[in-house]
DNA sequence: CACGATAATAACCAAAAGTTATCAAGACGT
DNA sequence: ACGTCTTGATAACTTTTGGTTATTATCGTG
C-alpha cells in the first residue's frame, strides 16, 4: 500500500471531487485517478462511487477513510520524532558514573534534562572498568571514568585533582614521597573507593616505596584526623586539605599523583544526544565547549581548570 | 516518507545486516542501501552506523524502529479492514423499516448480525415516503417499504397480502366492493398505520365507493370483533381472518387490494453489505436467492410465495 | 439540443527504483 | 604480515512507475 496514494485518498475522501483534490495535491486529475484506481485494485474493492453527478465514498472507502487519517497522522508523528531523535531531542541517554562524580554529574544531568525533557536519561553507577566495557558494548553512551582513558575513546576532562602528602607533625622531616618508605600509612578503604586505593599504591610504586598500611578509613576527613593524631601519613586530594589540624602537607611533583576524571564516549559519527550532553557539561564547567560532534579528535584538554568539582 | 522504505527499514533494523535483510525483502543489497539512504536523507539523520564489523542502529534509528513496527502493523490492519469492508464484512448498514415489518426485519437482522458481527446495523423506524428520501440521500442502505417502489430502486418483494372484505352476517348479500357503497366501515386508525388507512381509501376509490367511516380501531382483531357485532364492514388482510366469529368474507379481485412490502435499495455497483443482507433475507424467506449484487435489474418477484410473514 | 462539468482513457515522458558488476575497507585466519 | 572473505558503497544501465497533456464518454442543465 503506497503512502502517497493513501494521502491522496484522504484528500479525495474529504473533497469528493477528483479535480479539486488533484489541485490540492498539486498534481493532475488523471494522476489522481490512477493513484486511486491502483489503491482500489490493491484492496480489491472500489473506494468511491463515480457518478457524473458527483463522487461519493463507497462502504469500503468510508471504512478506510476513518483509519487512513489516523494512520497518516501517526506516520507524520513518527517521522518528526525520528527527525528530532536525529537532532538528539528525543531518545535515551545512558550515562555511567562512579563515586568520584556524585556531585558533578547530577548537576549536569539536571541541566540537560530541563533542556531536553524528552530524552530519557538513565544513570548507572559502575566502576571505571565496567564503564569501559559497557561503552564498548554500546550499553552506555557516556561514561565518567578516571583518566587516562583507553585511546579508542573521545575524552572530555572534567576535573583534576592532585594527591598531596599529609604528615603528622612528628614526621615533618619527610619532604618527598621517597622519604615515605617504612612510615605507617592511612589509606582509603579499598571497598568503596578502590581506584583511590589503587592510585595510592601505584604512586608509592612509582617512588619505589613499599607502603605499610596502618589503617583503612572510608572518608578523607577521617584519614586526616588519624594523621593529625599521629597514626601515620596519608595521601589525600588537595581539595580535602584541612588547615585547622596539626598536619604538614607536601606537594608531590609526579604525574602519578594526578587524579583526574573525564567524560568519555565512543567517537561515533553524528550522535547528537551525546554532543548535546557534552555541551551541557561544557557550560557547567564554564570552559570552552570543544566537543567534536562529528569528528573523533580528542578535544583540547582544559588541564588545570575545573578544580574542586568533586571532593568530599 | 515511502512506505516500502519503512518496511525495509524495519527488516534491516531487525537483521542489522544489509545482505540478509535484502534477501528477506526479495531485493538486491544495493537497492536496500539506496532505500535506506533515501530514508535517511528525508529524515536528515543517519539511522544506522555502518561499520564493516557490523551494522547497528543509531539513536534516531532506534527511536524510529520503535514507532515504525507499530505503524506498519496498523497499516496492514487498516488495509485488511478495507478489504473486508469491500467484501461487506465490516462497516455499517442502515436499514429503514416500518410497522408492517416489525416481525420480519428483526429476525433477518438477527441472522445477519450473527453472520457479520462486525457490521454495525442501525435500524430506523420511518414511514415509506421518508425511507425513499433517505435512501436517495444515502442515509439508508436498505428500506422496507410498501410496494410498488419508485423505479430507480431495486426491489426484493418480501411479503404479499391481499385485503378481503369482512362483512357482518346481516350484510351477506354484499358480494363485491362495488356493493359496499353506503355501508358503514370499520377502518384502522390513521394514526398508527396510515398506509393501511390510505390503501383502504384508495381501494374504495378504485371501485368508486365513498367510504362511510363508522369507527376507527387500532388492531385488526378489534375491527373484526366490531364487524361481528354488526357495527359495519371492514377491509382486513387475509391473514387476519378469523373463522370463529360470525363474519362473511369476500375476496376482492383487484390489484388495489394487493398489499405488499419489499426490501428496496439503490442499485449501486459493488456494495456487498447490501448484497449480504439480501442474501440473509432471501434465506429467511426460504425463496430463491435472486439478488443482483452488481446489476440493477429487479430480481424476479416471488409473487404468491411468502405469505403470512407479517400480519398482526 | 448544445454546452459545461466530470472522470476515464491514451500516448507519451521523466523520475524512481531495481539489477548486475565492481570497488574499498576491515576482520580474520594462516 | 599478507591474502582472503565479508560487508556495504558506488557506478552504469534497465525497467517500472508515476506524472503530464490531450482527448473522449457521459451525464446534468440552460
Encode chain B in three state secondary structure: CCHHHHHHHHHHHHHCCHHHHHHHCCCCHHHHHHHHHHHHHHHCCCCEECCCCCCEECHHHHHHHHHHHHHHHHHHHHHHHHHHHHCCCCEEEEEEECHHHCCHHHHHHHHHHHHCCCEEEEEEECCHHHHHHHHHHCCCCEEEEECCCCCCCEEEEEEEEEEEEEECHHHCCCCCHHHHCCCEEEEECCCCCHHHHHHHHHHHHHCCCCCEEEEEECCHHHHHHHHHCCCCEEEEEHHHCCCCCCCEEECCCCHHHEEEEEEEECCCCCCHHHHHHHHHHHHHHCCCCCCCCCCCCCCCCCCCCCCCCCCC
In this prediction, residue B193 has a pLDDT band, given cuts at 50, 70 and 90, of low
Cβ atoms of residues A91 and A273 within 8 Å: yes
Give the number of other CB atoms < 10 A from CB of residue B93: 23
State what percent of residues in chain B have pLDDT above 70.
88
pLDDT of B299 above 80: no
**Residues of B whose CB is below 8 A from A47:** 82
Q: How far apart are CA B146 and CA B244, in angstroms?
A: 30
Q: How far apart are CA B12 and CA B24, in angstroms?
A: 9
Residue that wins the pLDDT comparison between A157 and A301: A157
The predicted structure's pLDDT at residue A267: 78
Cβ atoms of residues B11 and B25 within 8 Å: yes
In this prediction, residue B300 has a pLDDT band, given cuts at 50, 70 and 90, of very low
Interface test with B, best of A10, A38, A51, A59 (most B CBs within 10 A): A59
Residue bearing cell 522504505: B5
- Average pLDDT taken over every residue of chain B: 84
Report the b/e string of B249-287 with b at 16+ CB within 10 A: ebebeeebbbbbbbbbbbbbebbbbbbbbbbbbbebbeb
pLDDT of A196 above 90: no
Q: How far apart are CA A118 and CA A131, in angstroms?
A: 24
Measure A42 CA to D9 C1' (Å): 34
Residue bearing cell 553524528: A270
pLDDT of A292 above 70: no
Mean pLDDT across B93-113: 83
Residue bearing cell 558494548: A137
Q: How far apart are CA B266 and CA B280, in angstroms?
A: 18
Measure B23 CA to D5 C1' (Å): 19
Cβ atoms of residues A227 and A183 within 8 Å: no
State what percent of residues in chain B have pLDDT above 90.
42
Mean pLDDT across A19-48: 93
Answer whether A85 sits within 8 Å of B63, measured CB to CB.
Answer: yes
For chain A, how many residues are written? 312
In this prediction, residue A246 has a pLDDT band, given cuts at 50, 70 and 90, of very high
Q: How many contiguous H segments (helices) and E segments (strands) does chain A have?
A: 9, 11
In B, what residues contact A, Cβ < 8 A?
1-3, 42-47, 49, 56, 58-60, 62-64, 67-68, 71, 74-75, 77-79, 81-83, 85-88, 90-92, 138, 268-273
Chain-centre distance for alpha carbon B270 = 14
Answer whether B60 sits within 8 Å of A85, measured CB to CB.
Answer: yes
In this prediction, residue A310 has a pLDDT band, given cuts at 50, 70 and 90, of very low
Give the number of other CB atoms < 10 A from CB of residue B52: 5
Interface test with B, best of A6, A63, A140 (most B CBs within 10 A): A63
Digit-coded pLDDT (tens) for B232-290: 999 988 878 889 999 999 999 888 888 788 888 887 766 888 889 999 888 877 643 34
Q: How far apart are CA A187 and CA A165, in angstroms?
A: 12
Asked if B276 CB < 7 A from strand D, the reply is no
**Residues of A whose CB is below 8 A from B139:** none
Q: C-alpha cell of B137?
A: 440521500
How many Å is the Cα radius of gyration of chain A?
32
Digit-coded pLDDT (tens) for B198-226: 888 888 888 888 888 889 998 888 999 99
Cβ atoms of residues B157 and B303 within 8 Å: yes
pLDDT of A99 above 70: no
Question: pTM of the full predicted structure?
Answer: 0.72
Cβ atoms of residues B278 and B141 within 8 Å: no
Answer whether A71 sits within 8 Å of B78, measured CB to CB.
Answer: yes
Chain-centre distance for alpha carbon A250 = 36
Residue that wins the pLDDT comparison between A308 and B19: B19
In A, what residues contact B, Cβ < 8 A?
1-3, 42-47, 49, 56, 58-60, 62-64, 67-68, 71, 74-75, 77-79, 81-83, 85-88, 90-92, 138, 268-273
Residue nearest to nucleotide D7 (CA to C1'): B52
Q: By mean pLDDT, which of A208-222, A231-245, A257-271 is the weakest?
A: A257-271
pLDDT of A5 above 90: yes
Most confident residue range from A259-273, B3-17, B150-164, B165-179:
B3-17
In this prediction, residue A294 has a pLDDT band, given cuts at 50, 70 and 90, of very low
Mean pLDDT across A281-286: 82
The predicted structure's pLDDT at residue A297: 37
Backbone angles phi, psi at B164, to 5 degrees: -125, 160
Q: How far apart are CA A186 and CA B177, in angstroms?
A: 128
Residue nearest to nucleotide C27 (CA to C1'): B53
pLDDT of A287 above 50: no
Alpha helices per DSSP H over A207-292: 220-228, 272-285
The predicted structure's pLDDT at residue A173: 86
Asked if A30 CB < 7 A from strand D, the reply is yes
Q: How far apart are CA B121 and CA B126, in angstroms?
A: 16
Q: How far apart are CA B208 and CA B212, in angstroms?
A: 13
In this structure, the strands spanning B233-237 and B154-167 are antiparallel
Mean pLDDT across A78-84: 93
Residue that wins the pLDDT comparison between A90 and A267: A90
Amino acid at each position: 500500500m503506497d503512502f502517497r496514494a493513501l494521502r491522496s485518498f484522504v484528500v479525495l475522501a474529504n473533497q469528493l471531487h477528483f479535480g479539486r483534490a488533484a489541485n490540492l495535491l498539486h498534481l493532475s486529475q488523471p494522476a489522481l485517478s490512477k493513484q486511486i484506481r491502483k489503491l482500489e485494485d490493491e484492496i480489491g474493492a472500489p473506494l468511491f462511487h463515480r457518478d457524473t453527478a458527483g463522487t461519493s465514498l463507497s462502504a469500503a472507502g468510508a471504512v478506510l477513510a476513518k483509519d487512513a487519517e489516523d494512520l497518516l497522522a501517526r506516520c507524520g508523528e513518527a517521522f518528526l520524532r525520528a527527525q528530532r531523535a536525529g537532532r538528539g531531542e528525543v531518545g535515551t541517554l545512558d550515562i555511567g558514573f562512579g563515586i568520584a562524580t556524585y556531585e558533578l554529574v547530577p548537576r549536569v544531568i539536571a541541566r540537560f534534562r530541563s533542556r531536553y525533557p524528552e530524552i530519557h536519561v538513565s544513570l548507572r553507577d559502575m566502576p571505571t572498568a565496567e564503564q569501559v566495557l559497557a561503552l564498548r558494548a554500546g550499553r552506555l553512551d557516556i561514561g565518567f571514568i578516571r583518566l587516562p582513558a583507553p585511546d579508542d575513546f573521545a575524552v572530555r576532562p572534567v576535573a583534576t585533582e592532585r594527591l598531596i602528602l599529609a604528615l603528622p607533625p612528628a614526621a615533618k622531616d619527610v619532604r618527598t614521597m621517597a622519604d615515605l618508605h617504612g612510615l605507617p600509612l592511612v589509606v582509603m578503604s579499598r571497598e568503596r573507593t578502590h581506584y583511590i586505593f589503587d592510585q595510592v599504591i601505584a604512586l608509592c610504586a612509582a617512588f619505589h616505596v613499599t607502603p605499610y598500611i596502618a589503617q583503612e578509613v572510608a572518608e578523607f576527613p577521617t584519614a586526616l584526623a588519624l594523621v593529625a593524631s599521629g597514626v601515620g601519613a596519608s595521601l589525600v586530594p588537595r581539595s580535602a586539605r584541612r588547615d585547622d589540624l596539626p598536619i604538614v602537607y607536601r606537594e608531590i611533583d609526579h604525574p602519578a599523583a594526578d587524579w583526574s576524571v573525564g567524560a568519555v564516549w565512543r567517537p561515533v559519527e553524528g550522535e547528537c544526544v551525546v554532543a548535546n550532553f557534552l555541551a551541557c557539561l561544557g557550560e557547567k564547567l564554564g570552559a570552552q565547549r570543544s566537543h567534536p560532534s562529528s569528528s573523533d579528535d580528542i578535544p583540547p584538554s582544559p588541564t588545570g581548570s575545573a578544580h574542586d568539582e568533586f571532593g568530599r
